[in-house]
Chains A and B, each alone.
Chain A
Amino acid sequence: SAVISQKPSRDICQRGTSLTIQCQVDSQVTMMFWYRQQPGQSLTLIATANQGSEATYESGFVIDKFPISRPNLTFSTLTVSNMSPEDSSIYLCSGAWGYGYTFGSGTRLTVV
């Protein structure tokens, strides 16, 4: 299965600033996704990262707030823009290959 490296693992950011999270997969995956998770709770899909084109966002998430890039099959970034304390959460990337889905270890973001 693919191995996903995600960084940073955690950060504390000032409100109004932006943070870019990077996700690197060690092999090609067909699809990549970004999720948000409150500690101890389930995962909510933010968007599907499409290679070379605009990401596909789920209801309640918009490109201006969460711009996503995927320049190739193994790398993607998620930016959390103009952060507020409500954006404090864990952000995870995921890669899909056949039936398999692999997840990064997550980025724990705290906005102060």
Chain B
Amino acid sequence: TQLLEQSPQFLSIQEGENLTVYCNSSSVFSSLQWYRQEPGEGPVLLVTVVTGGEVKKLKRLTFQFGDARKDSSLHITAAQPGDTGLYLCAGVSEKLTFGTGTRLTIIP
């Protein structure tokens, strides 16, 4: 069974601070995706990383795929209240395997 462990599980920080969320697996994936989910909605795809060592930026969000394609990180700079949500990494094979999730709360 492929497992993706995310850390931290919960994170509550002040607006303007920086944060990093980690996603670690013992398995190699062809690619890895990050999603954000808000209450009452389905997950929304933020990014797909494919190549080991790849770094992608989406405004204040920076995503990195580990060299061995088994881990990833999401870094948010100057967090805003709109960043609040459940962040999920997902390993892509013939199906998605979701990580354990990180619930992020940004305090105004």
Contact = CB atoms under 8 A, between A and B. Distances in A.
12 contacts: A1-B45, A40-B86, A40-B103, A42-B100, A42-B101, A43-B43, A45-B96, A45-B98, A59-B1, A102-B42, A103-B43, A106-B42
Interface residues of B, number: 22
A104 B42 CA distance: 5
Interface string A89-112: 000101000011111111010000
Q: Majority SS of interface residues in chain B?
A: strand
Interface of B: 1, 31, 33, 40-45, 48, 86, 88, 90, 92, 95-101, 103
> Nearest 3 A-B pairs (CB), nearest first?
A103-B42, A42-B101, A43-B98
Given A33-B95, A43-B98, A45-B95, A101 B103 contact: no
Q: Majority SS of interface residues in chain A?
A: strand
Interface residues of A, number: 25
